[in-house]
Amino acid sequence: MCGIIGIISHNNVQHMLVQALKTMEYRGYDSAGICMLEDAASGLKNVKEKGKLQHLQQALKQQPLTGNLGIGHTRWATHGKPEVRNAHPHQTATLAIVHNGIIENHQALRTELQQTGANFLSDTDSEVIPWLWQQQRTQFSNEKEAFLHTLNTLKGAYAIAGLQAHDPDKLWFARRGSPLLLARGSSGVFVASDALAVAGEADEVMYLQEGEWGWTTLEDTYVFDVQGKSVALKWQAMPHMVSATDKGDYAHYMLKEIHEQPRVYRDILHAYTDVSGSVHFPQADFIHNDTLPKRIIMVACGTSYHAALTARYWLERYLKVPVEVDVASEFRYRDPVIGDHTWLITLSQSGETADTLEALRLFKRRTPHNKTLAFCNVPHSSLVRESDGLIELYAGPEIGVASTKAYTAQLMALALFSLQLAQQNQALDTKEVQQHIQALQYAADHVDVLLQESHQFDMLTQIFSHAHGALFLGRGPCYPLALEGALKLKEISYLHAEGYAAGEMKHGPIALVDKNLPVVVLALRQYHLDKVISNLHEVQARGAKIILITDLPKSECPQDVDAIVNIPEGDFFSAPLIASIPLQFLSYNVARSKGTDVDQPRNLAKSVTVE
């Protein structure tokens, strides 16, 4: 959600602001804007545009700004439609801010501030911040006190960067509930939502902790805690970051990322297994050293939640302990019973998902003695910094909003994790673990072949030309895969789709079946094949169009289905890694046929940093 950047530099910051926003456009693309200050006499200059960043870039060509201090924002709307007047930065005559988060008491503050003369121009919650800050400036001669009071009056979550019109040498910042970091390099000092935004510019970084705030000049940085006490500065070397590469010859990032999956599978296997076939997680020693847990709780959102659901089948079979999987937004508010000897596993591509982070914090508050482990693609993210251990996903930057390679990376890492615990629990011996690892290696080869033959998925698209929705069915680990297939289709083609446990289909959704409802059936030999085929016949008998994704040879497939996608056979762990591929192509191809924006679908953002 919303990317924010603030820069103070020796040079004009316009180009750097726009470049930083470009790397954070995945956080939201409803509108974008920058505000710059040249000197105390010139006043604040603000340019904002609705829609993607390219519109702002066009506007800045017509109307370039000058100044060595500036803030910028790319928006994912929470309050107020995506319009120019709701775009950030928001300003008064004397100061301007950009904000990521939600100000929960904005309505009450707005009413109060209006009574004292505030003139609101937007429908956003964020616009109360500059008016409140301006009001506090009139009440406190000390500007530190004024900013602290402003922050303490706000309820909710925020990452803020701000500047004051009279002071071109000072960049203000604050963090509570939304990610924010400071960075510095030869060109200046930065405040940003994401280290990627300053990857080419900064040599050192400092991740702000909850409640921290302060200001920076080019020479000095001051950070305070919620009480206003000084906090020691903890600059650290900027982590090596693979900057987002371009799309190459691919039409979309999503397509490129689909094609990267065999590389990702191999990188994960290389990172966590050795030639003898043993599994080791160097950034999560407790897995190897502690006694096994009596219970595992897995918490995540969206696609990451689906990956967790798959792992439950793997872990429960071999570890023989209860594995509970919950969406983070439910877990954090349902007063969960946790108990001792429990590990919390969080899964997140970004490591900044607000609900997942809060679920982790709740777990740690309730049972600080229990261990927490993050499966995450961003090793310097908030989730990782706050967890006891990390299993890094090595997927590389994922730009397409619809997750593909990060999802299968999660599956691969979870499969290795399950195998390691199975071995520690003596449910599998070394030889058996080696065989499963080999099957995971074969999965990379199988996916290579599927990608080379991806034209076979083209025929599926026309089945969706008159569809009013779609149903995805599977059993066992293919059930969460069905959920994921449906989510992918919804996200990028805007077609209503449901994933269902095939055995549940008779309990309701079968009523939806007609000739314009394609039903995607995932029938793999590993997971209750006969029962899934019976479910297929039940929907087929009611006139549904059937797309069968199966590892059965053609000769053994049921007849008269509308399309068959044959995939190579995997084992208990590797099968979902192979079966994900046709689902990804299905959603990609349908989206293309509908002409939607594949990489930046409407209403979505890559990183959901508000609850």
Residues that bind ligand M6R (CB under 6 A): 301-304, 348-350, 353, 356, 401-403, 491, 604, 607-608
How far is residue 557's CA from residue 533's CA, in Å, rounded to a whole number?
9
- Of 273 and 580, which CB lies nearer to ligand M6R in the complex structure? 580
The H-or-E segment that residue 609 falls in is none
Residue 88's alpha-carbon distances to 33, 81, 102, 348, 606, in angstroms, are 6, 12, 14, 28, 19
Helical pair 478-493 and 575-594, crossing angle rounded to 10 deg: 20
> Which candidate in 2, 35, 376, 478 is catalytic?
2
How far is residue 139's CA from residue 570's CA, in Å, rounded to a whole number?
68
- Of 475 and 606, which CB lies nearer to ligand M6R in the complex structure? 606
For 15, list phi and psi in degrees, rounded to 5.
-60, -45
- Of 476 and 601, which CB lies nearer to ligand M6R in the complex structure? 601
Q: Does residue 2 have an active-site annotation?
A: yes
3-state secondary structure of 199: coil
3-state secondary structure of 299: strand
Burial of 430 (0-12, 13-18, 19+ CB in 10 A): exposed
- Of 409 and 524, which CB lies nearer to ligand M6R in the complex structure? 409
Count CB atoms within 10 A of the CB of residue 316. 14
Contact 32, 89 (CB under 8 A): no
Burial of 336 (0-12, 13-18, 19+ CB in 10 A): middle
CB of 237 to ligand M6R, least distance (A): 25
* DSSP per residue, 159-173: EEEEEETT-TT-EEE
- Of 109 and 359, which CB lies nearer to ligand M6R in the complex structure? 359
CB of 530 to ligand M6R, least distance (A): 32
Which residue type sits at 406? A
Q: Which residue is nearest to ligand M6R (CB)?
A: 302
How far is residue 523's CA from residue 535's CA, in Å, rounded to a whole number?
10
> Which candidate in 170, 405, 545, 606 is catalytic?
606
CB of 370 to ligand M6R, least distance (A): 21
CB of 458 to ligand M6R, least distance (A): 22
- Of 348 and 370, which CB lies nearer to ligand M6R in the complex structure? 348
- Of 91 and 349, which CB lies nearer to ligand M6R in the complex structure? 349
* DSSP per residue, 249-294: T-SSHHHHHHHTHHHHHHHHHHHHB-TT--B--TT-THHHHSPPPS
Q: Does residue 515 have an active-site annotation?
A: no
CB of 604 to ligand M6R, least distance (A): 6
Q: Count of residues for the chain? A: 611
The H-or-E segment that residue 181 falls in is strand 181-185
CB of 350 to ligand M6R, least distance (A): 3
CB of 422 to ligand M6R, least distance (A): 25
Catalytic annotation, residues? 2, 606
